[in-house]
Amino acid sequence: MKRTFLSRALEYLIELIIKLCGISAVIFIFAIFYFVFREGASFMFGKFKPLEFFTSPEWYPTSQSHVRYGALALILGTLSVTGLAMAIAVPFGIGAAIFISEFCSSRVKETLKILIELLAAIPSVVWGFIGLTVMNSLIIRIFDVPIGLTILNGGLILAMMSVPIIVSIGEDALKAVPDAYREAAEAMGATRWQIITRILLPAAKNGLLAAVLLGVGRAVGETMAVLMATGHSIRIPSSIFDPVRTLTATIAAELGETAVHSEHYQVLFIIGILLFVITFVINLTADFIVKGIREKK
């Protein structure tokens, strides 16, 4: 078939579009970076009191008498929910990854992988709804506490949301360990437990760490599910049965009603910057670790 002018032009056009798609990620990241900082900047370098922001739990953005923007309780809320989520998700996620890559038959493996991917595809608002209704009444009944919208609830929900990420990346990392290692260990008479703890885990260490960090990133940034499951209460948590409020939930609940460019609006953007920095650092660390694995090979 002879190439016409039109088909060549189309070819060029499509190549251009694909190239743009590639570059767009970079453009978007910088655009988001720029706009978030721009919205928060004038307050951040003006009347913003960083000491109050990081050390006071008093979040009174709409007070008539004394407006205070202390985000300590919100930061601790995010940390506690994420921390609990990781304490649950890491053992389960890594365990599942080891099982999938080392122990199960290939048919079970395929089924499990499909199911875990399905788990990752559940929208966060559905998780939030499960937290608000199912988990809430379960926690009240099992632990005999007055309120089920707690750190525990949010942590469990977030754990279930980040397990799929940890499993699929962790499994990749384990799969990347050369079979020669396993064969050598078996030839030396090592048991399966010894192979896992002494050979596989150290060899796949970086990949597993990256998996965990990406799971943390997912948990820190999650909004809808924690907004619905944690009770939305500004306080410094003292147990896992306390309701808390997270940074992301604060933005989601308050941004819609603030006057554009008001102080309150800008402080919410400063919270956005804080979240951005946290997830950016986590993802960057994960990236460097993954890169470390590749270079070693």
Partner 1 sequence: MGHKIFFCMFVFLAVSCLHKVDVENSVDKPARVIQCAGSDTIVNVSQAWAEKYREIEKNISVEVSGGGSGTGIAGLMNGTLDIANSSRKITHEEFEKIVKERGKEPVEHIVGYDALAVFVNKNNPIEEISLEELAEIYGENGTIERWSQLGINMPVPDRDKIIVTSRQSNSGTYFYFREVVVGKKRDFRLGTIDLHGSKEVVELVGRTINAIGYTGMGYARDEVKMLRISKKRGEKSIAASIDSVLDHSYPIARPLFIYTCGEPPDYVQKFIDWIYAEEAQDLLMKSGFVPVKLGKITNVVKDKIEKR
Report the sign of the C-alpha dihedral through residues 113, 84, 281, 249, in that order.
positive
Choose one: 6-14, 37-45, 92-100, 186-194; the region binding partner 1 (CB under 8 A): 6-14
Q: Which of residues 168-227 bind partner 1 (CB under 8 A)?
A: 227
Please say which residue, 236 or 284, places its beta carbon nearer to partner 1.
Answer: 236
Amino acid found at 46: G
Q: Does 6 bind partner 1 (CB under 8 A)?
A: yes
Q: How far apart are CA 178 and CA 64, in angstroms?
A: 65
Residues 249-268 that bind partner 1 (CB under 8 A): 253-254, 256-257
Binding of partner 1 at residue 234 (CB under 8 A)?
Answer: yes
**Binding status of residue 58 toward partner 1 by CB under 8 A:** yes
| Identity of residue 289 | I
- Considering the complex, state which of residue 64 and residue 106 has its C-beta at the smaller distance from partner 1: 64
- The interface region with partner 1, picked from 61-69, 78-86, 116-124, 289-297 by CB under 8 A, is 61-69
In a 13 Å sphere around the CA of 148, the CA atoms on its Cβ side amount to 18
The answer to whether 167 and 100 are in contact (CB under 8 A) is yes
Token representation of residue 151 = 């750190």
Stretch of 30-38, 201-209, 230-238, 271-279 contacting partner 1, by CB under 8 A: 230-238
Task: Please tell me whether residue 295 binds partner 1 under the rule CB under 8 A.
Answer: no
CA distances from 12 to 2, 128, 147, 178, 202 (A): 16, 46, 61, 42, 48
Q: What are phi and psi of 43, to 5 degrees?
A: -80, -35
Could you tell me which stretch among 110-118, 166-174, 200-208, 231-239 binds partner 1 (CB under 8 A)? 231-239
245 binds partner 1 (CB under 8 A): yes
3-state DSSP call for residue 243?
coil
Handedness of CA 201, 206, 212, 214 (dihedral sign): negative
Size of the site for partner 1 (CB under 8 A): 31
Distance CA 125, CA 254 (A): 18
Report in angstroms how near the CB of residue 139 gets to partner 1 at its nearest. Answer: 12
* Three-point CA angle 89, 92, 95, nearest 5°: 140
**Least distance to partner 1 from the beta carbon of 220, Å?**
21
137 is an interface residue for partner 1 by CB under 8 A: yes
Which C-beta is closer to partner 1: that of 111 or that of 133?
133
Residue 128 touches partner 1, criterion: CB under 8 A? no
Q: Which is nearer to partner 1, 253 or 273 (CB)?
A: 253
Q: Does residue number 146 form part of the binding site for partner 1 (CB under 8 A)?
A: yes
Q: For residue 81, which of 196, 207, 237 has the smallest C-alpha distance?
A: 237
Please identify which residue in 140, 196, 201, 293 interacts with partner 1, judged by CB under 8 A: 140
Question: What does DSSP say about strands 59-60 and 68-69: parallel, antiparallel, or unpaired?
Answer: antiparallel
Residues that bind partner 1 in the complex, under the rule CB under 8 A:
6-7, 10, 57-66, 73, 137, 140, 146-147, 149, 227, 231-235, 243, 245, 253-254, 256-257
